[in-house]
Structure 1
């Protein structure tokens, strides 16, 4: 009998991927009896602390992105740089955003939201400490990579988390509204301190160091209990799989459409906010302080749009609402471009910010409606981080063009990308397809929605091609 009691049976892992991750919650399917509970911003109770921690994190992110525009004239003068060289401060965070896009899902699976809460703010803190030391310009460019990684990681994580909540349009509107709050305060503070108090441009980052310290403390304390195992158990897969969640998400059309849409959208947002001060000084003959206030007006418009239109978007439906917002933004852009008056331009760009504001939250909500929950962090995280790269690519491209064409090139480039946004938006799959299939009525719309305008340009094109081939 003793020999039987000593016999051991070893269970071999199923699939090659299990050898890399022995947690069954990651690669085994979700039990059919599982009932998912949709979280709210105030339920469970800890979510109140977590929600406000993410709000403050977005204040820091907004302050980080909007500071570039206010500081560029002074960085350019301090280091004696050309347009194209100073534009590297926009381009260098792209490396950080790309790293965040690829590592976001892995960090969630391994370390959970606790890992994001530690790594993101820590990247901000280290970057701001380095900038405040006034390093040589090549070192400054490298430091901005670290700030970009922190922004990309938090942008991806908190968008995916809140996008999966009840009333996600409204809560995401508030989340991105606080990004706008930071973006309003940052150029205002930087411009005032430099032009009125005589501070050197890099001294502004003393304030950012304090903000990043608070951000680190609040997010870590709020998400400390959300480890990797907790995350994997809360977001189990619905089907067995041998590949990572990110690879599965990258095979979905919506991931790439949302990524390219956000890349263009964020590019427009940051390019306008980043070059508006230089444009108003050199093309509208504005004074430095007044031109800095135009940037503040633009970010104020974005903030108000996110807080206010975030409650209108679910009523119109995401597809129709975003199309209306883009058309309104294009109208404001035409006025901004064609009426060469300082005050008209200031009002037009502020209104343009108002209509641009709710587009990012709407894109995140649209993606959550199409994708299965276990892919939300991977797909939306990738899209948000990839899209955040637009904050680097388009402002740099405009700077490169401005080197030969002048900063007035900003206007036609922005208008063209806004037109591209409409096409990309119409390439998203049908959002309410599940509800339509259940009712059998294509005109059915979600409760509380005023209209049901939902077009899938890709499927419409495929049907047209099939009909043409059949007719041939």
Structure 2
């Protein structure tokens, strides 16, 4: 009788238990158990995503650092509305001149958005995030001195570049996460809403100071301190590491390509693949219009209330109401988004926004308009994180980070173009045109979302 020698199982070393792949041996079809070893196939490798308590803690700390970064971006957008009257008064500038702040910032954001493909490969995720916060610190330090208007406007280019680096990379990182992706994206952007909600409470007292002096610009010292602390936090927590390294360390579950090849893809090839997909452009233009409307409401609503509804300097707090609603909507409406479906609920929120915007346009009531603006904030809140979460589900994972970076970067571009157009129209037809701009842009958003979902359906057929 021949004895059968049983080989002892091989276990991975202890240091590799938190991240390894399980190989599954599969017999060729029609073969029996006597098949030769060279006839056996190895099934696709399956990632084991069991996380240790230490890994979960590290993942949460890093996510909190990203939230703080988005708080800074929201702080920047939320402070603009209350400060516009002070900027106009100090520099004796009209609506069109003040609107150039948005355009110059847009230029920096556009450069950041389109360079994200290259910089993520060459610099890396952690370094790029910290660099963005450093650039914002420099911009705020210059603006705090209330320099001549051309300098004040020009330095906003650096600010826009820094925001694009943080916004694009942060969105791409969270969009790649598979576990609780919708909730994490909603919480991340709730942090943005929190920053935009808090900023007007700090900016409004500064804006109420004598605009002939420079004390109103001291607000930017607060912003500079916040940006500097963000840079330090990102450097300490992320340690300038690349995204794939961070995800490996925490064994985070991510979206993977079902038929992906292991061969690396060059940045230029990724960019070509991304820009060749019409779906990416529909999502990018949707986000561009969305963020443009968001910043237009948060930025110009203060001037609208003061000029057309008899508001005073305290009207700056209405901007807080809008961004507070934005923050609340991103958390409170998560169950409704799940129940109705993220793709359908966008149309519901857009329809209700149109109805409330018509009320702001036609009903001359300071309190009524303030309430309507806050409710619009609640309805607008979930839209951005829904789009980013859907991008993570429907776009190929191999280009996801770059695609989401491009989409979110286009959002920052829209945050400049739509407010600039509103300001340019206001210089000719007065600020009462703001609700009309919001009406047109919200309708365009709904149309772009319909096109995006139709394009995705065609891709899946």
TM-score band by shorter chain is 0.7 to 0.9
Instruction: Name the counterpart of 1:276.
Output: 301
Instruction: Name the counterpart of 2:151.
Output: 139
Instruction: Name the counterpart of 1:191.
Output: 204
What secondary structure, in the 3-state scheme, does the structure 2 residue paired with 1:286 have? coil
Superposed counterparts of 1:32-431, under 5 Å: 33-36=44-47, 43-165=55-177, 166-195=179-208, 200-224=215-239, 226-227=241-242, 230=245, 238-239=260-261, 243-289=268-314, 291-429=315-453
Change in 2 beyond 3 A, CA 1:203/1:252: same
Distance of 2:348 and 2:198 partners within structure 1: 28
| Deviation larger for 96-105 or 243-252 | 243-252
Q: TM-score, normalised by structure 1?
A: 0.80
Q: CA deviation at 1:312?
A: 2.7
Distance of 1:313 and 1:235 partners within structure 2: 21
- Unpaired runs of at least 5, structure 1: 1-30, 430-455, 464-472
Distance of 2:406 and 2:278 partners within structure 1: 13
Q: CA deviation at 1:308?
A: 1.1
Give the conservation status (yes or no) of the 8 Å contact 1:114–1:227: yes
Distance of 2:224 and 2:79 partners within structure 1: 14
Q: CA deviation at 1:296?
A: 1.1
Instruction: Name the counterpart of 1:451.
Output: none
What secondary structure, in the 3-state scheme, does the structure 2 residue paired with 1:340 have? coil
Q: CA deviation at 1:45?
A: 3.2
Change in 2 beyond 3 A, CA 1:407/1:368: same
- Unpaired runs of at least 5, structure 2: 1-41, 249-253
What secondary structure, in the 3-state scheme, does the structure 2 residue paired with 1:389 have? helix
What secondary structure, in the 3-state scheme, does the structure 1 residue paired with 2:241 have? coil
Distance of 1:222 and 1:68 partners within structure 2: 29
Distance of 1:180 and 1:401 partners within structure 2: 27
1:70-117 CA distance string (max 9 Å, x none): 111110110111110111111111111111111112222122212222
Q: CA deviation at 1:336?
A: 1.2
Distance of 2:291 and 2:362 partners within structure 1: 23
Distance of 1:229 and 1:110 partners within structure 2: 14
Distance of 2:405 and 2:272 partners within structure 1: 13
Q: CA deviation at 1:272?
A: 0.6
Change in 2 beyond 3 A, CA 1:38/1:152: farther
Whichever of the two has the greater Rg, that structure is: 2
1:250-305 CA distance string (max 9 Å, x none): 1112210110000000000000111011000000011111x111111111111111
Distance of 2:114 and 2:48 partners within structure 1: 28
Distance of 1:228 and 1:182 partners within structure 2: 25
Distance of 1:75 and 1:197 partners within structure 2: 11
Change in 2 beyond 3 A, CA 1:230/1:109: farther
Change in 2 beyond 3 A, CA 1:357/1:38: farther
1:223-245 CA distance string (max 9 Å, x none): 11623773799999824556431
Q: TM-score, normalised by structure 2?
A: 0.82
| Deviation larger for 203-212 or 192-201 | 192-201
Distance of 1:374 and 1:115 partners within structure 2: 21
Q: CA deviation at 1:197?
A: 9.9
Give the conservation status (yes or no) of the 8 Å contact 1:91–1:392: yes
Give the conservation status (yes or no) of the 8 Å contact 1:179–1:303: yes
Give the conservation status (yes or no) of the 8 Å contact 1:120–1:153: yes
What secondary structure, in the 3-state scheme, does the structure 2 residue paired with 1:45 have? helix
Give the conservation status (yes or no) of the 8 Å contact 2:330–2:381: yes
Give the conservation status (yes or no) of the 8 Å contact 1:121–1:216: yes
Q: CA deviation at 1:200?
A: 2.1
Distance of 2:222 and 2:85 partners within structure 1: 20
Aligned residues: 404
Distance of 1:353 and 1:232 partners within structure 2: 33
Change in 2 beyond 3 A, CA 1:141/1:255: same
| Deviation larger for 200-209 or 350-359 | 200-209
